[in-house]
Amino acid sequence: MNASNSSGDLLEQSATFGAMTEGTASDWKIIAAHNQHLASDVASRVLEHLKLLEGDHGGFAVDRLEHSLQTATRAYRANKSDEYVVCALLHDIGDTLGSYNHPDIAVAILKPFVSEEHLWMVEKHGVFQGYNFFHYLGLDRNMRDQFQGHPAYDLTVEFCQEFDQTAFDPKYDSMPLSEFVPAVELLLAQPKNSIYLNDDGQMPGSKN
């Protein structure tokens, strides 16, 4: 196969193997270019999925998109970092896909891009949020206590108590989603942690 070095040319080609064991360096150069092209627009796909939360109230006074916007707005107005605010915006993006483990969906999206502390905050927010209502459902509201001593424990308490659990107010003046788009695009532009990063911290097929 004669594969050009131009990323544009590579995007016009496809690998020819039917099993990975038959692949060549040229095949994988093509695939890496396609993957990088797809990955470069991940922010748009994440935001489009977030919009699917609109209209689904789940019994709350506001729909799930408004809750996400309100949580992020409250964090932004408290001068939290852009990374924290994006985590706040996306923390419940898994509500419609992971009804029994929704934090894990957000974690899967955010893991390559955020700090360990913020990732843990998102991962555990379901347990920590339970402090506010688990006892009404016959569950242990102090389930979060098992994590006492963790470096991100107080951070997660703060997130849940100051921003997440307060964000169901239909009278609150939330910022529109468009205001958060630049921060989402910037955060998701380049992974910090991934098995696919090379020694230079770049994704295979990257132009950088």
State the pLDDT at residue 27.
85
User: Hey, which CATH number is domain 57-187, 1.10.3210.10, 2.30.31.70, 1.10.3720.10, 3.10.129.10?
Assistant: 1.10.3210.10
The residue extents of the domains of the chain are 1-40+194-208, 57-187
Q: Is the pLDDT of residue 193 over 90?
A: no
Instruction: Provide the H-helix boundaries in the chain.
Output: 7-10, 25-39, 42-51, 64-77, 82-90, 102-110, 116-129, 153-158, 181-187
pLDDT tens digits along 47-95: 999 999 999 998 999 999 999 999 999 999 999 999 999 999 999 999 9
Amino acid found at 167: A
- Which pair of tokens denotes residue 118? 């913020």
pLDDT tens digits along 130-169: 999 999 999 999 999 999 999 999 999 999 999 999 999 9
